[in-house]
């Protein structure tokens, strides 16, 4: 054998789960997509085809559904920790990673709901050495501001053609993930962090996506004392001003082409001091 197995991970992804809480009236609904992954001493599965230590990914899926029946599912973070604890006790496992995407629904009626759109709420629980690291977040939250966004004062080299602007559209799809301090468990704070991100995006006088990102990160830290750090990823979905001058028309920041390719991509982590 020329090669050594220097890292491995396996599991079941995209387990689709809907739980209806029927005891309550009106009904509640929880809609999740769950990934389970294990790391550990699984070398012989790879090198010898010896499956005696290989918990089937089908078993992982069954376990998720059985736990979903028994657990209250009040917070996906707690549910992920319960699953992680269970899998961490299997032979050979050194690390469990549970990732959950929660698809939010709005109530229409005591027993009926509408999907809110592309935004999903996320959690990733990493469990190793009898301890859980808990990250919560969101992705697919698409926002746009029509003013209070500038980009000027940047360096110019032989390949620079972009004009400076004091007023442009700023549009992005927010991906955020924040890590909670060890032992923190007030997971309802997710709403406060989300609100802080949105309010800051809306109200910030932006000199760049970077500056707005940083302000959003600071607001997230301020909104929830349990947050240790927050990572943000903000694509800059450029809205290009249409040149209407060939048609004898002014375009004072009114008519734009929305584009998706190419896009800027600004990413950073802001940590509590």
Footprint (CB under 8 A) of a copy of itself, residues 77-116: 91, 105, 108-109, 111-116
Question: Least distance in Å: CB of 129 to a copy of itself?
Answer: 21
The SS3 of residue 217 is helix
184 binds a copy of itself per the rule CB under 8 A: no
* Positions in 219-238 near a copy of itself (CB under 8 A): 221-222, 229-231, 235-236
Give the total residue count for the chain.
273
41 binds a copy of itself per the rule CB under 8 A: no
Could you tell me if 120 and 101 are in contact, meaning their C-beta atoms sit under 8 angstroms apart?
yes
Total residues at interface with a copy of itself (CB under 8 A): 137
Question: Least distance in Å: CB of 95 to a copy of itself?
Answer: 13
The DSSP secondary-structure symbol of 248 reads T
* Positions in 4-33 near a copy of itself (CB under 8 A): 4-22, 27, 29, 31
DSSP string, 139-202: EEEEEEESSSB-B------TT--PPPBS---EEEEEEEEEEEPTT---GGGHHHHHHHHHHHHH
> Which residue from 130, 158, 183, 188 is in contact with a copy of itself, where contact means CB under 8 A?
158
Enzyme catalytic residues: 12, 57, 238
Give the range of 75-83, 124-132, 182-190, 195-203 binding a copy of itself by CB under 8 A: 195-203
133 binds a copy of itself per the rule CB under 8 A: no
Non-local (6+) Cβ contacts of 30 within 8 A are 17, 18, 19, 21, 73, 102
166 binds a copy of itself per the rule CB under 8 A: no
Question: Least distance in Å: CB of 164 to a copy of itself?
Answer: 9
Taking alpha carbons only, the member of 112, 102, 38, 32 closest to residue 65 is: 32
| Chain centroid to CA 9 | 21
251 binds a copy of itself per the rule CB under 8 A: yes
192 binds a copy of itself per the rule CB under 8 A: no
């Amino acid at each position: 054998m020329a090669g050594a197995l220097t890292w491995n991970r396996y599991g079941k992804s995209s387990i689709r789960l809907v739980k209806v809480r029927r005891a309550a009236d009106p009904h509640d609904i929880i809609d999740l997509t769950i990934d389970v992954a294990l790391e550990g001493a699984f070398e012989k599965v790879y090198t010898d085809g010896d499956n005696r230590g290989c918990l089937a990914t089908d078993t992982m899926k069954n376990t998720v559904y059985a736990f979903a029946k028994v657990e209250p599912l009040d917070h996906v973070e707690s549910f992920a920790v319960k699953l992680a604890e269970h899998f961490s006790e299997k032979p050979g496992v050194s690390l469990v990673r549970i990732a959950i995407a929660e698809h939010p629904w709005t109530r229409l009626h005591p027993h009926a709901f509408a999907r809110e759109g592309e935004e999903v709420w996320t959690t990733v629980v990493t469990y190793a050495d009898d301890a859980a690291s808990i990250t919560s977040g969101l992705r697919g939250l698409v926002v746009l501001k029509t003013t209070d966004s500038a980009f000027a004062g940047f360096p110019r080299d032989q390949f620079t053609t972009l004009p400076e602007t004091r007023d442009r559209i700023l549009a992005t799809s927010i991906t955020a993930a924040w890590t909670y301090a060890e032992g923190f468990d007030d997971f309802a704070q997710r709403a406060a962090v989300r609100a802080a991100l949105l309010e800051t995006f809306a109200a910030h006088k932006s000199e760049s996506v970077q500056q707005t990102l940083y302000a959003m990160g600071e607001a997230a830290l301020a909104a929830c004392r349990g947050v240790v750090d927050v990572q943000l990823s903000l694509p800059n979905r450029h809205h290009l001003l249409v040149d209407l001058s060939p048609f004898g028309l002014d375009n004072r920041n009114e008519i734009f082409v929305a584009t998706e390719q190419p896009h800027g991509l600004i990413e950073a982590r802001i940590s509590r001091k």
